[in-house]
Amino acid sequence: DADVTQTPRNRITKTGKRIMLECSQTKGHDRMYWYRQDPGLGLRLIYYSFDVKDINKGEISDGYSVSRQAQAKFSLSLESAIPNQTALYFCATSDPSVGSYEQYFGPGTRLTVT
């Protein structure tokens, strides 16, 4: 089973709808991240969380919110989706306490806003 899972994998929604993307991990990592990927723009950080009580905005947090329900779960919400939020969204985790700073990524959620 995958260590970092994302649901749904694909979603088509209409402008103005509220949508939630979910991320779960079995790695036991404290740190979790949400990124979006757009062609030619690489990965851009939306929000990140260093533990359940520590949530931080990334470079493109406007229009998004997050909830860290537990160490293993980190959800991303679009309160009122708009077409330019059409993108591929990735969740990631990391555990610097083991002396390594790499991040582990989920398979992504492809979101289309019409």
Partner 1 sequence: GDSVTQMEGPVTLSEEAFLTINCTYTATGYPSLFWYVQYPGEGLQLLLKATKADDKGSNKGFEATYRKETTSFHLEKGSVQVSDSAVYFCALSAPRGQRNTPLVFGKGTRLSVIA
Residues that bind partner 1 (CB under 8 A): 4, 33, 40-43, 45, 48, 50, 58, 90, 92, 94, 96, 100-108
Q: By C-beta, is 16 or 96 nearer to partner 1?
A: 96
Closest CA to 91 of 18, 14, 37: 37
Query: How do 87-94 and 104-105 pair as beta strands?
Result: antiparallel
Q: Tell me, what DSSP letter sits at residue 15?
A: T
Q: How far apart are CA 3 and CA 45, in angstroms?
A: 21
Nearest-approach distance from CB 64 to partner 1, in angstroms: 15
- Largest CA-CA distance found in the chain, in angstroms, rounded: 43
Nearest-approach distance from CB 29 to partner 1, in angstroms: 13
Q: By C-beta, is 8 or 16 nearer to partner 1?
A: 8
Nearest-approach distance from CB 70 to partner 1, in angstroms: 20
Q: How far apart are CA 97 and CA 109, in angstroms?
A: 28
Nearest-approach distance from CB 17 to partner 1, in angstroms: 25
Q: By C-beta, is 58 or 63 nearer to partner 1?
A: 58
